[in-house]
Structure 1
Amino acid sequence: MHCGMEHMLNDADLGAHNKVQFNCSKCGKATVIEIRRKMDSTVVMTPLPSFARAEGTHSNLMQKDDYSGLSLPAGKKVLLTVTTGPSKGMVYQFTKPRMIIGRKGADLALEDPEISRHHCMLEVKENAISLRDLDSTNGTFYDEERTRAAFLFDGTEFRIGSSNIRVSFEAL
């Protein structure tokens, strides 16, 4: 409920998903909700974290060089290591606080046919990284669950396509 319009969703709309996206019938804005089911099958919906609901599409986010609120940690380098998949062994160091992972044309291009051209976005905020799926076809997985957004810390792994990627912060 972002513009005052209430929406009723039934079980057929929700299926077994733990997150649902729909367009508001009043203003047309895409809305993402998280669903938590209680033992009695009551559905509780909560909005996603603000970084997962950022305004604009991923294509115009990639054109912006506005890194306000983002920063690489002082005295550390941020590394992404591909631990499985076609690009296994690849290590990538962040050179800017916002990176798009995908195939050819992304900031970090992986040779994985199961990932989308612009699959997910990572934003560094000191010692944490916010991960956001960019409406990819095959999804982004954290802790073996498909997710739209998550916070990542040193040693955390996530999966896109057949590639597992580990985040690490190392001293310079």
Structure 2
Amino acid sequence: MIIECSSCKSKYKYDEAKLAGGSKKIKCPKCKGVIEVHPPEQQVTTAAKPVGAATLDRTYASIPLPDDLLDNTDPAAGSSPKTAKVRKEALQAMAGGEEFLKMPEGSKFSLAVIQGQESGEIFQINKPRMTIGRSDADIVIKDMEASRQHARIDIMGDRVILRDLNSTNGTFVDEQRISSSNLDNRSEFRIGTTVLMLIITDIE
């Protein structure tokens, strides 16, 4: 059977016979992360498990929303039309809907290369959605480990979201591979061998 490390996405061949006693935990040879290996029948059961309403509610709750959009309806009374509208807007924002993209007034954004071939380079972010990659991107970095269009920065007012664009080698924040992650001023992330820092400054 083929197993995959959830941290670095490396794949390995594993002998199913070693799972006779149940699930096992092994260390990834590449990133030293822990890989949980389950018998094939357990994997099928886990994959077939549907996403419940509680899971969706946690997804909604994890998305920060402005105070003026929050609904104060008593949950026991059921969902109001306003609650449904807020949830729909929250999911659209999480998915990166263009209608939510907006550069905030009074701030400017840039990416500083702090490690890699272009260390010291500063890239200006002059629009609310910019792609980063080896080529065919708004911000082109000289890194052979990066995909052509590797990741994307979405600015939604006060929120800055980094999204991986299904890159081959992944996008990492705090050395954790991410699909999307909120960034703050001076947050660092890695694409290939290049480490970039988000810099937010006030416009005087």
TM-score interval, normalised by the smaller of the two chains: 0.5 to 0.7
- Residues 69/53 of structure 1: CA separation in 2 closer, same or farther (3 Å cut): closer
Contact 2:109 2:201 in 1 (8 A): yes
Aligned to 1:23: none
After superposition, residues 139-154 of structure 1 pair within 5 angstroms as 139-154=170-185
Contact 2:173 2:188 in 1 (8 A): yes
Contact 1:52 1:148 in 2 (8 A): no
Q: Which has the higher contact order (CA 8 A, sep 6+)?
A: 1
Q: Is 1:17 the equivalent of 2:6?
A: yes
Deviation at 1:120, TM superposition (A): 0.4
- In structure 1, list runs of 5 or more residues that go unmatched: 1-11, 21-36, 56-65
Distance (whole Å) between structure 2 residues aligned to residue 126 and residue 143 of structure 1: 24
Deviation at 1:52, TM superposition (A): 9.5
Q: Is 1:167 the equivalent of 2:198?
A: yes
Q: Is 1:132 the equivalent of 2:121?
A: no
For the aligned residue pairs, the C-alpha RMSD in angstroms reads: 3.4
- Residues 149/100 of structure 1: CA separation in 2 closer, same or farther (3 Å cut): same
Larger radius of gyration: 2
Q: Is 1:79 the equivalent of 2:110?
A: yes
- In structure 2, list runs of 5 or more residues that go unmatched: 10-33, 64-90
Aligned to 2:119: 88
After superposition, residues 35-74 of structure 1 pair within 5 angstroms as 50=91, 54=95, 67-74=98-105
Amino acid in structure 2 at the alignment position of 1:126: G
Moved over 3 A (4+): 12-16, 41-55
- Residues 53/14 of structure 1: CA separation in 2 closer, same or farther (3 Å cut): farther
Deviations 1:64-121 (A, max 9, x none): xx84111112111011101011111111111110000001220000011110000001
Deviation at 1:51, TM superposition (A): 6.9
After superposition, residues 28-39 of structure 1 pair within 5 angstroms as none
Contact 2:112 2:196 in 1 (8 A): yes
Q: Is 1:108 the equivalent of 2:97?
A: no
Amino acid in structure 2 at the alignment position of 1:132: R
Distance (whole Å) between structure 2 residues aligned to residue 73 and residue 130 of structure 1: 14
Q: Across the two proteins, how many residue pairs are aligned to each other? A: 132
Amino acid in structure 1 at the alignment position of 2:135: K
Q: Give the number of the structure whose residues are more often helix, by fraction.
A: 2
Contact 2:130 2:139 in 1 (8 A): yes
